[in-house]
Amino acid sequence: MSESLQFIIEPGGRLQGTLRVPGDKSISHRSIMLGALAEGVTEITGFLEGADSLATLNAFRAMGVDIEGPEAGRVTVHGVGLHGLKAPGAPLDLGNSGTSMRLLAGLLAAQPFDTVLTGDESLNRRPMRRVTEPLALMGAQVDTSPDGTPPLHIHGGHRLHGIDYAMPVASAQVKSCLLLAGLYAEGRTCVTEPAPTRDHTERMLAGFGWPVAVAGRRVCVDGGGRLAAARIEVPADISSAAFFMVGAAIAPGSRVTLTHVGINPTRIGVINILRAMGARLALANERTVGGEPVADITVEAGPLHGIRIPAEQVPLAIDEFPVLFVAAALAEGETVLTGARELRVKESDRIQVMADGLRVLGADATPTEDGMVIRGGGGFTGGRVDSHGDHRIAMAFAMAALRAAGPVTIDRCENVDTSFPGFVALAREAGLDIRAGHG
C-alpha cells in the first residue's frame, strides 16, 4: 500500500457554497453508445470526463467511430449507424467500469466480429453471468472465466432473437444490456424487473427516436429500427452530489446548494432516505432537460435519526449507500438496511469494507448478509481507513472527517477519478480540509 494515493483530511469544519458536481456517469456512458450507433452527428454537453466514461468513449473510437473531444464537457460523436462498427484491433480495456462492460456485452453480442472485453483487477473480479446467461438465451455466444468473471470473449456473427426475461435481481446494467442487444434482435425483447432501477437507457433510446414500450416494471423494444442523432445535455450526477448532501447534513453550520442535479425518479433514493432521517433538504428550480428531470438541491445541517430503510428505496439508492452509512453512524438511534446484497459485488464488497472502516473510526456497525445495522449517535474518532480502491468508499470516508475528533487518512484513492475528477479541489472549495498525497 506504500505507493497508494491517500486522502488526508483534518477533522471538523463545515461545508458552504453553491457547487456544481461533474456530469452524470450513467448518462455519459449511454450518450456515447447511442450517439455512436445513431445516424448523424450527436452533440453532448456536460459529459463526465472521468476514467469510466472515457473508457466507453475510447472503446468506440477503437471500433472506428470518429469522436471529437471531450473538451470542457463537450463531445461530438459522428454516428456510424447500427451496423457501422468495425472490429477493434485489440481487446477493449474498460478499466474499472462495470457499466461499460455489461452494456457493451449486449451491443457487441450482435456484431459480425469477435471482441474481447477486459478491465482492471477489480473489474475482472466482478460477476458477468447475470448478462451472459440471458444473452445466451437470445442466441449470443459470450465466454467468461470459469468463475463467470471477465475477460469476456464475445463471438460475433450470431443472429439474436428477442426474449421475454424476468430479471432475478434488480439491475439497470442487466436491463440495459438486454435492451441494447434487443435493438439487433429479431422480434421483441422484453425485460421485467423485480424492483424499479434507473431508466436512463429507455429515456435516451426514445430521445434517439427508437420506440420503447414501458408498462409498469416491464420494458420492451422491437429490433430492426434506426437511431437518429440527438443533442444530449448531461445533468450533474446525483451520486456525486450525494457526498456533499450528506456532508452538509452532518456538519454543524453547513449549507450547500448543488446545481443542475439529475433527479430522475429511479435515482432519488438518497433524497428520500435523507429526508426520512430528518435532513433539511429542499429542491428548487425543477425542470426537464433533454428528457431528464433536474433541480437545484439545498441541504442544511440538522439532527438526523436512525430509520429502517424501506425496501423500495434500496435500488433507488444503491450507489449512495457508502455515504448514507456515514450519515447513519451519526444519526440518533438505529439504522437498518436489508435487501442490498448487490452491494457485495460492486467495485468492492461495500457492506464489509464500509463496516470495517466505520469500526476503525469508532462507529457501531454490524454487517449482515444483505445489509447493515448501524447504531448511531456519536461522532467519529480519527484513524486510517482502506477504501479497497473503491471510489465511493473513499469519498464517503472523506465526508466522515467533518465529524471526526482526529485526522482521517484514506488509502487507495486512485479510482476517485473514475466518477469524480476534481473531487479534492471541489471539497476544499466547499470547506473540507483535505489533501491528496502518496503514503
Write out pLDDT tens, residues 209-265.
999 999 999 999 999 999 999 999 999 999 999 999 999 999 999 999 999 999 999
- The string of pLDDT tens digits covering residues 112-142 is 999 999 999 989 999 999 999 999 999 999 9
Structural domain boundaries enclosing 412: 5-23+235-438
Q: Are residues 48 and 150 in the same domain?
A: yes
Section 10-32 average pLDDT: 96
Question: Would you state the pLDDT for residue 82?
Answer: 98
166-215 pLDDT, tens digit per residue, is 999 889 999 999 999 999 999 999 999 998 899 999 999 999 999 999 99
Of 233, 267, 299, the domain-final residue:
233
- Phi, psi (rounded to 5 degrees) for 304: -115, 155
The answer on 176 and 306 residing in a single domain is: no
Instruction: Verify that 176 and 304 share a domain, yes or no.
Output: no
DSSP for 349-411 reads -HHHHHHHHHHHTT-EEEEETTEEEEEE-S-B--EEEE-TT-HHHHHHHHHHGGGBSS-EEEE
pLDDT of residue 418: 85
Q: How many angstroms from the chain centroid is the CA of residue 38?
A: 24
Catalytic residues: 319
216: left (phi over 0), alpha (psi -120 to 50) or beta: left
Quote the number of domains for the chain.
2
Contacts of residue 283, defined as CB under 8 A and 6 or more positions apart, other chains included, come to: 263, 271, 295, 296, 297
In this structure, are 430 and 381 located in the same domain? yes
267 and 320 belong to one structural domain: yes
Q: Final residue of a domain: which of 188, 217, 233? A: 233
pLDDT confidence of residue 160: 98
> What is the residue-averaged pLDDT of the chain?
96
Sheet holding 213-215, edge to edge: 164-166, 188-192, 218-222, 213-215
Same domain, 217 and 286: no
**Over the stretch 330-388, which tens digit does the pLDDT of each residue have?**
999 999 999 999 999 888 899 999 999 999 999 999 999 999 999 998 899 999 999 99
Q: How far is CA 209 from the centre of its chain?
A: 25
**Final residue of a structural domain among 213, 233, 253:** 233
Tally Cβ neighbours within 10 Å of residue 91.
Answer: 16
Are 421 and 289 in the same domain? yes
Q: Say if residue 70 is in the same domain as residue 192.
A: yes
Q: Average the pLDDT over 380-400 and give the result.
A: 97
CB 205 within 8 A of CB 176: no
User: Model confidence at 2, in pLDDT bands (50, 70, 90)?
Assistant: very low
Within this chain, do residues 199 and 130 fall inside the same structural domain, yes or no? yes
Measured CA to CA, the distance from residue 149 to residue 160 in angstroms comes to 23
What CA–CA distance (Å, rounded) separates 352 from 8?
A: 22
Beta strands in 263-345 (DSSP E): 280-289, 292-300, 333-337
Q: pLDDT at position 1, please?
A: 39
Do 209 and 308 lie in one domain? The reply is no
For the domain that residue 98 is a member of, what is the CATH number? 3.65.10.10
Q: Which are the contacts of 383, defined by CB distance < 8 A and separation ≥ 6?
A: 360, 361, 362, 406, 408, 409
Measured CA to CA, the distance from residue 74 to residue 58 in angstroms comes to: 15
